[in-house]
Amino acid sequence: MQLPSVDNLVKDLQRGITYNVCAYRTLSWEERMRAVQVFMQQQGMNQPRQGAVVKIFSVIGLNDQ
């Protein structure tokens, strides 16, 4: 299976963090935010530091035709 190759950026200006959601297609704003939200929930207390760039891999769009 090929890895997702479409970068979808979300910038958190308040925390200074950039999230790069890699998916199989361009994501809507809602899809990007949901991917970031799931990531944050999984991290728990281990939140990224200010200025970090976080790469999140998503399967969204894998079966789209």
Looking at residue 65, its pLDDT comes to 57
Write down the mean pLDDT value for the chain.
93
DSSP state at residue 11 = E
* Percentage of residues in the chain having pLDDT higher than 70: 98
Q: Across residues 13-40, what is the average pLDDT?
A: 96
**Secondary structure of residue 15 in the 3-state scheme:** coil
Through-space distance between the first and last CA atoms of the chain, rounded to whole angstroms: 16
CA distance 23 to 44: 23
**Secondary structure of residue 62 in the 3-state scheme:** coil
Looking at residue 47, its pLDDT comes to 86
Looking at residue 2, its pLDDT comes to 85
Is the per-residue pLDDT at 27 higher than 80? yes
**Secondary structure of residue 40 in the 3-state scheme:** helix
